[in-house]
Structure 1
Amino acid sequence: MTELTPPQTDRKTWMSLLAKAPAADLARLWEAHGAAPGFTWLRAPEVGAVMVRGRAGATGAPFNLGEMSVTRCSLRLEDGAVGHAYVQGRDKDKARIAALVDALMQGAGAAALRSAVLEPLERGLADVAQARAAKAAATKVEFFTMVRGENA
């Protein structure tokens, strides 16, 4: 496996974030960011299915778990930057916005877009994860063993 360079790891990170983000949050932040740039479709949003694979205990032999709906698209901005998106589900609008963000993150306005869209999405996902962890921690049971007198 080849090692990823810093720009590739950055792109991997924001692509993952865009795919995991709730569609409503992404749309709200995108609209607040401003006007969408002009673009042409390289591949209009299309819905398909992918096979999800799993491993028993995360170590066993891989097996086909089932299929999942995915929407993908690709576009080219007027300045030539190309954006791609793969998102879970059948949301073509989320895929379009994710591809636009991907393309714009490769240009000069990346820092502004990161602070306006990506960082709030990241904080939102972190808050959800923290709330889930707190809820799970509240159900944690502590077991302990008392030393009995005859074993001392």
Structure 2
Amino acid sequence: MPETFSQTDRREALGLLARAPAARLAELLPELPAHEVLRAPEIGTVMVRGRAGGTGSAFNLGEVTVTRASIRLHGGEVGHGYVQGRDKAHALRAALVDAMGQADPARVAPILTPLREEEDRRRARIAAEAAATRVEFFTLVRGEDE
């Protein structure tokens, strides 16, 4: 029997699938495996909460549009996909990869590995661009301060 997704692996995979560009996910999963739709992709909103300074009291920041879908593979595995925006195909593919990963994590490695590497490169590029704008401040010692 194949190894299954741990809760942490599944959480990370779902986050990665949600952040992945929809077109790239479609390239990596062009053929949809046989499945039963439990919840057809539907568009709605969720409330986003924030904290002042990251540590203050929580407050409602605003609503974000999301699309969700739920499917069942013919092996019985149920998958869920939530993505920001209005892309129904993206949510359906995320749900399919979630279910496929529960059945056999090795089966989704060819999908998740390139997405993870591309996200790492994107984050590194953004960090490098931000670092290039960093300003170093220094203090001059004035004569009367000695």
TM over 0.5: yes
Aligned with 1:50 (options 14, 34, 46): 46
Residue 93 (structure 1) aligns with = 89
TM-score of the aligned structures, taking structure 1 as reference length: 0.88
**Structure-2 residue corresponding to 1:7:** 6
Structure 2 spans left out of the alignment, 5+ residues: none
One-letter amino acid matched to 2:57: A
1:44-101 deviations in whole A, cap 9, x for unaligned? 0000001111111111111111110010110101111111011101000000100000
| Aligned residue number for residue 139 of structure 1 | 133
What TM-score results when the alignment is normalised by the length of structure 2?
0.91
Partner of 1:25 in structure 2?
A: 24
Higher relative contact order (CA 8 A, sep 6+): 2
User: What does 1:53-64 align with in structure 2 at a 5 Å threshold?
Assistant: 53-64=49-60
Q: Distance in 1 between matches of 2:50 and 2:145?
A: 46
Kept in 1: contact 2:101–2:107 (CA 8 A)? no
Q: Which moved more, 1:134-143 or 1:22-31?
A: 22-31
Q: Helix, strand or coil for the counterpart of 1:111? A: helix
Identity of matched residues, %: 56
Instruction: Tell me the alpha carbon deviations over residues 7-58 of structure 1, each in whole angstroms, 9 at most, x when there is no partner.
Output: 1111111011111111111111112xxx322111111000000111111111
Determine the C-alpha separation between the residues in 2 that align with 1:112 and 1:43. 23
Match of 1:3 in 2: none
Q: Alignment RMSD, CA only?
A: 1.4
> How many Å separate the matches in 2 of 1:23 and 1:73?
14
> Structure 1: which 5+ runs fail to align?
1-5
Instruction: Detail structure 1 runs of 4+ shifted over 6 Å in the superposition.
Output: none
The count of corresponding residues between Structure 1 and Structure 2 is 142
Q: Distance in 2 between matches of 1:126 and 1:100?
A: 23
